[in-house]
Chains A and B, each alone.
Chain A
Amino acid sequence: MLEIQNLQATVADKPILKGLSLTINAGEIHAIMGPNGAGKSTLGYTLGGRPGYEVTGGTATLDGADLFELEPHERAAAGLFLGFQYPVEIPGVSFVQFLRESANAQRKGRGEAPLSGGEFLKLAKEKAGLLRMDMDMLKRPVNVGFSGGEKKRAEMVQMGILDPKIAILDETDSGLDIDALRICGEGINAIMRKPDKAVLLITHYQRLLDYVKPDFVHVLAGGRIVKSGGPELALELEEHGYEAVAA
């Protein structure tokens, strides 16, 4: 589904990704772990097309389509969802307002009929319920005044509404208390654990992986995948640290 080959990217002219290769097939859940500053968020942003993250080499395709030929909103329509490590606050713009427009822009891009106001609200309510989030929160301005945990849950609600093919979830578990962690974990499973979908979890901790069991675990260090393995690799990392395991 997602095929990344020898990806190189710079941020502010500084090389961050230095030849990263990763293949994620439909139905798989992958986890990327790695020390701070390794380039994990840079990977997500580069795939999402954030301005300032420049691809200097390599390729990335989503179901065969060259991601780097597409604008950020076209990548979303192609099925790529990025769960932000730090979700952005947008005063004056409500979740329901922009998500309905977003969902319909995506549907239009795929040649599907738009959702009516009623259909959209029903969908939003269902996904909010899945994440135990009050529907009223979605009528508020995007992330404004939300706690860290609420922002992460709101990201998962958005993922549910937009129904992507692949989700790259950047430290979705940070800032969550134990209950919210379980709710998010179960939400990710309910929304994304399907034969035609895939997930790339970026995390520091085993605790999220207790809920969302990965098929593969990778260590990202110095802008490259330096080690890959099964779920046991995460436990090994937790016990011995990145340096010992990735050396």
Chain B
Amino acid sequence: MSNELIGARVLRKEDNRFITGKGRYTDDINLAGQTYACFVRSPHAHANIKGFHISAAENAPGVVAVLTGLQVLEDGLGGLPCGWMLHSKDGSEMKQPMHPIMAGEKVNYAGEPVAVVIADTYEQAKNAVEQVAVDYEVLQAVVDTSSAAEQADIYPDIPANTCYNWELGDAEATSQGLAEAAHITRIELINNRLIPNAMEPRAAIADYNTGTEELILYTTSQNPHLARLIFTAFVQIAPEHKLRVIAPDVGGGFGSKIFVYSEETTISWASKKIGRPIKWTAERSESFLTDAHGRDHHTMAELALDEEGNFLALNVKTTANMGAYLSTFASAVPTYLYGTLLAGQYRTPSIYVEVDAVFTNTAPVDAYRGAGRPEATYVLERLVEKAASELAIDPAELRRRNFIGKDQFPYQTPVALEYDIGDYEASLDKALEMSDYAGFASRKDASQRAGKLRGIGLSCYIEACGLAPSALAGSLGAGVGLWESGEIRVNPTGSVTVLTGSHSHGQGHETTFAQLVSAKLGIPIDDIDVVHGDTGKMDFGLGTYGSRSLAVGGSALSRAADKVIAKGTKIAAHLLQTDAENIEFDAGEFKVIDSNEGKTIQEIAFAAYVNHDFPIDELEPGLTEKAFYDPVNFTYPAGTHICEVEIDPDTGVTEITKFTAVDDFGTLINPMIVEGQVHGGLVQGIGQALLENCVYDTEGQLVTGSYMDYCMPRADDVPSFDVGMTCTPCTHNPVGAKGCGEAGAIGSPPAVMNAVLNALGQTDMDMPATSEKVWQAIQNAAASN
């Protein structure tokens, strides 16, 4: 595959519809006879339901139906499942509370749906919701992550509110390393809870046809096939062949739209009951309350070093908040996506990590951009920076001293992963140069003269992407294999329809995948369309998360393209009356070797469908090929982020004066799109470090339930970025790609915090470093001096 399209900044094919207002998001769709749903949500974080009073609502104008959690129970609907089975240290299975689609007997977080009103208009539904009365017996809420295990049990059959106590690594070797250390650096950290906030609120339209008994569900999903599977196999809403799930244009996901939620499930069930389509669109307040949140870890970690600053051992103990129920992937996030990443870019010989996952009366917590890997990177890179400061070693130098060398790959870490390739010094060096690290001291002096505090912070991250080798994932508890499918239909006139099980909700697959297929087949990119997000069009796929689309979905397409070429070769051989061995394919042409004879792929496509004389036993008509790709390993994007800040000591306001990100994503198909992914990830990471924080009060009420209280990064909160790349192509997938969607959000939080702390001359502070917190830290330091 050598083609000028690989690595080209091709403008996005999908943009025209978005910039002209012709995108088609779920809420833009309206069906004949459509009704509207509005949910009755629990005002309490923890309460027993004593009774429902729905007759006033049932008689309200325009109301078609009022359904409660009791009817869910009566109908015997299954609960929403978690797809990843974890085991505790003692071998016992994780505890999983029943997660009903609407609560009928007990509510476990504020905002949990208990009933739904369906009416002719949304306004009528919303008005009638006010007339549903629910009797609650309020119970004490469990909210705090670190003390959840000591509080009263939320579920009678789940002792100590504990989902699992998980471990990974070698406890003995790690304590040995700590015992032998010349120096131990210790840190206690909270990884602040975040609310994903894709700009398009979740929405769904369920359309049950009583004649055909088919259910079509339009939904804001990152993985419609998974939704269909869960609906069928677990909740048992409709048989799979009668259920079509369509995720049309989706306005951002960041993980929050991977999961199957109560609302789309409820309206699917309800549509069948009322025989009319039902639309539900979340108001932003509902998104805050019920979209799966992210992060929420409390961690203690210690790093043992020898006299030269070589890392000897790392010991990590984390408590992770799962919220009230286990969301679709929740159990895997603080374990296999976290503990396994704690080696980072370093040769640390012994690592031991324990994770206690706890239930609380808060919204479910699940994967949010980076999912586990930002938490791991945060622990490690805060710890390393603190060690550097305690040992008075330059933080870049301390990292370099401990890097896995570029000649040490493949590298088996003590926490289960085998890195295939990387060059960590290359990205560090490039970042140091781009950020003018050497010139920092003089910039700091200049700031000082102006009465400002300047700081610089590094973060060298690694992540595991391209979920996942199915066999490995299965052995670790995944409920499904994590391959991807791809299909290439070369139409008779030479245009191409590409079908992928990946889903694009901003990532630009319609362009990147078209580039890839165009490069493979030599067909102009304008003749290639990518179709995704409809279970009625492709048979199965596992969707988009974990930066897997190109590495796994792209690899499937690469294989499908190889199959198209193989089939085309046979057709060409037949048409040119030679053996297939005599045909070579290059740049869209099947040529007879050592001759001038040949056929273009367009000619072959036409012949594939219209020919009269194929030897049908050996050669079938058509030029459509499908392939599945199951990766043999994860991919390991890695890089260095360097943040420089200036703090005004009078106000505590932190300004990022320069942010440099150097990433190794392997082979890039479209650097423009890749850089865009980095920018977006960086701002989510910077948002976490400086602005964003999800807060519940002690009763379990969400305090940060709107954009007034939850501080989203806005254009004037962040700088422009210096983004650079290094490249060691992935060794085990045909594209060489590693994935780029999450790196920005993974690498940046510790870089920002390290810079802030460097400016303050301190080593401890939790995110977000708001101006208030920074100002207070300055005051406290002054007072104690």
A and B associate:
no
